[in-house]
Amino acid sequence: MQYVIPAWELPSIPVIGTSERFPVRHIYCVGRNYAEHAKEMGGDATKEPPFFFMKPADSIVPVVPPDVGRVPYPMATKNFHHELELVVAIGRSGVRFSPADAQALVYGYAVGLDMTRRDLQADMREKKRPWDIGKSFANAAPIAPIHPASATGTLSRGEIVLEVNGQPRQRGDLADMVWDVPDMLAFLSQLYRLEPGDLIFTGTPAGVGPVVVGDRLNGRIAGLTSLAIEIVSAES
Ligand code: MN
């Protein structure tokens, strides 16, 4: 294939137990999927269907322990927030499927961070404009290696914890999701054909908050590889 400008590398994520990688196609994210987080954002998720937004595939920052991922403090914000999330990786194509059929599409799971320019998101929300500038930007989606579901089984419960500089900030359990993974995938498949390579960030528990340059974040979910990042200055 000849391109008129140099082509870039396909974004991809290491898979535990193999030298092969998972190529990333689309990144879908679910909003307000833990009741306590919905409350802290000023809403009530329990009565609403799930809603979705997207990040660009090349916003991923793959991090393999013992490495600590370097996430530059992004431009245009003064309120850069962490949202620790279970990420579901899709391995098969499917559209308009039922929750009962959803698990067959799941390739695996990873620990991810839905990094957010909260001030821009809040401003857009207030003006009833799209959230994109709050959620979609370079390095907005740090992610640890993927664990195949063939090894983990279906993940529907388990502790999810984020520490910043060793202090707990977010804590919850996957079982506390308002819309569990099969339900949210079934909902999403009414809007889009899910494709191999798609990632779904499944929402964050309560305790989101700001980070600054020099902060060390450590996110973990029971049974998965932990994710460690440091916020570095944009110039470095
Ligand atoms: Mn989120």
pLDDT value of residue 219: 98
Between the CA of 52 and the centroid of ligand 1 the distance, in Å, is 10
pLDDT value of residue 42: 83
Between the CA of 199 and the centroid of ligand 1 the distance, in Å, is 13
Q: Is the pLDDT of residue 36 over 90?
A: no
Between the CA of 151 and the centroid of ligand 1 the distance, in Å, is 26
Between the CA of 26 and the centroid of ligand 1 the distance, in Å, is 15
Q: Is 10 helix (H, G, I), strand (E, B) or coil?
A: coil
pLDDT value of residue 157: 97
pLDDT value of residue 43: 79
Burial of 114 (0-12, 13-18, 19+ CB in 10 A): buried
Q: In CATH, what is the architecture of 12-232?
A: Alpha-Beta Complex (3.90)
Name the pLDDT band for 31 (thresholds 50, 70, 90): very high
Domain chopping of the chain, boundaries: 12-232
Q: Is the pLDDT of residue 217 over 70?
A: yes
Is the Cβ–Cβ distance between 146 and 16 less than 8 Å? yes
pLDDT value of residue 50: 92
- Alpha helices (runs of H) in 50-173, residue ranges in sequence order: 99-102, 118-126, 132-135, 149-152
pLDDT value of residue 46: 67
Q: Is the pLDDT of residue 101 over 80?
A: yes
What one-character DSSP code corresponds to residue 44? -
Between the CA of 30 and the centroid of ligand 1 the distance, in Å, is 6
Between the CA of 53 and the centroid of ligand 1 the distance, in Å, is 9
pLDDT value of residue 113: 98
**Across 47-51, 100-104, 176-180, least confident range:** 47-51
Between the CA of 95 and the centroid of ligand 1 the distance, in Å, is 23
Model confidence, pTM: 0.97
- Whole-number mean pLDDT of the chain? 96
Between the CA of 96 and the centroid of ligand 1 the distance, in Å, is 24
Between the CA of 202 and the centroid of ligand 1 the distance, in Å, is 7
Name the pLDDT band for 35 (thresholds 50, 70, 90): confident
Per-residue pLDDT of 18-28, as tens digits, reads 999 999 999 99
Q: Is the pLDDT of residue 233 over 80?
A: yes
- Alpha helices (runs of H) in 7-153, residue ranges in sequence order: 35-40, 99-102, 118-126, 132-135, 149-152
Q: Is the pLDDT of residue 59 over 60?
A: yes
Between the CA of 114 and the centroid of ligand 1 the distance, in Å, is 5
pLDDT value of residue 39: 84
Between the CA of 131 and the centroid of ligand 1 the distance, in Å, is 12
Q: Is 4 helix (H, G, I), strand (E, B) or coil?
A: coil
- Which residues are found with C-beta within 5 Å of the ion, ligand 1? 83, 114, 204
Alpha carbons 9 and 212: distance in angstroms, whole number:
30
Between the CA of 201 and the centroid of ligand 1 the distance, in Å, is 7
Between the CA of 1 and the centroid of ligand 1 the distance, in Å, is 37
Q: Is 191 helix (H, G, I), strand (E, B) or coil?
A: coil
Between the CA of 150 and the centroid of ligand 1 the distance, in Å, is 26
Q: Is the pLDDT of residue 236 over 60?
A: no
Between the CA of 85 and the centroid of ligand 1 the distance, in Å, is 7
Q: Is the pLDDT of residue 5 over 70?
A: yes
Q: Taking Cα atoms as reference points, which of 36, 14, 11, 46 lies closest to residue 26?
A: 11
The arithmetic mean of pLDDT across residues 129-134, rounded, is 96
Q: How many CB atoms lie within 10 A of CB 213?
A: 13
Q: Taking Cα atoms as reference points, which of 218, 214, 198 lies closest to residue 24?
A: 198
Between the CA of 6 and the centroid of ligand 1 the distance, in Å, is 33
Name the pLDDT band for 45 (thresholds 50, 70, 90): low
pLDDT value of residue 44: 74
